[in-house]
């Protein structure tokens, strides 16, 4: 089992990934639901950071600094920085406030200075709003957004033919790295006879809402 499928098994064990019938923001009935907010204790966050670090290393994307957009990206960037340091790469990280501070050091960015190539760390990309705001903050600091890393790419169309991930890649010319994606989920389900019913439901959903394979 590769680390991506290990991550899916981990998400299932933490009840972050669940199967059933769930209504998405787009009004679709999805056979699975992923809520990264349920990685909510020390042990699971520690392991989650290791998965992010492995995905980053595996991607080969060059970077100098990590950036975690408020709010969900803040702990994710922190635990990823710890995991990278444990693996021998000590990496600075920073995050933003939702509102600029008007006293003390001021500003809306906390942590290491945004410099060089900055990798955005977040949980998922739904509408892409968080990544777009992050890109603006990074560029305003004179740094270069070099990519984004998320936990799961649903590989699902938005209002058009592209997914939110593909739209971010198209609009900003940066890669989006996922710890796991729908292909990995389908591979995991195929190898697990006890999830056979879920495999069929996810495959049907993908046929209806999945992105085109040739993009």
- Interatomic CA distance for residues 163 and 204, integer angstroms: 18
The stretches of the chain forming alpha helices (DSSP H) are: 3-13, 42-59, 73-86, 129-140, 164-172, 182-190, 196-209
Among the listed residues 23, 101, 190, 196, the single catalytic one is 101
Check if 101 is active-site: yes
Residue 192, classified by CB atoms within 10 Å of its CB into exposed (0-12), middle (13-18) or buried (19+), is: middle
* Tokens 């991550």, residue located: 7
**Cβ contact 56:80 at 8 Å:** yes
- Interatomic CA distance for residues 108 and 85, integer angstroms: 25
How is residue 4 written in tokens?
A: 């991506």
Among the listed residues 23, 25, 103, 190, the single catalytic one is 103
Q: Which residues are catalytic?
A: 101, 103
């Amino acid at each position: 089992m590769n680390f991506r499928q290990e991550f899916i098994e981990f998400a299932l064990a933490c009840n972050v990934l669940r199967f059933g019938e769930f209504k998405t923001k787009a009004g679709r009935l999805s056979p699975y639901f992923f809520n990264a907010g349920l990685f909510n204790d020390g042990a699971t966050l520690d392991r989650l950071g290791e998965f992010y670090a492995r995905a980053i290393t595996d991607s080969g994307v060059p970077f100098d600094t990590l950036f975690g957009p408020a709010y969900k990206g803040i702990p994710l960037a922190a635990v990823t920085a710890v995991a990278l340091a444990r693996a021998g790469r000590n990496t600075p990280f920073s995050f933003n406030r939702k509102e600029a501070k008007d006293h003390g050091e001021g500003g809306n960015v906390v942590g290491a200075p945004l410099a060089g190539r900055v990798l955005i760390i977040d949980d998922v990309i739904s509408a892409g709003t968080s990544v777009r705001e992050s890109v603006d903050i990074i560029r305003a600091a004179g740094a270069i957004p070099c990519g984004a890393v998320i936990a799961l790419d649903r590989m699902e169309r938005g209002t058009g033919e592209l997914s939110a991930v593909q739209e971010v890649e198209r609009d900003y010319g940066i890669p989006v790295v996922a710890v796991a994606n729908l292909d990995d989920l389908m591979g995991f389900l195929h190898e697990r006879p006890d999830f056979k019913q879920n495999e069929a439901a996810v495959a049907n959903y993908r046929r209806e809402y999945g992105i085109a394979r040739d993009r």
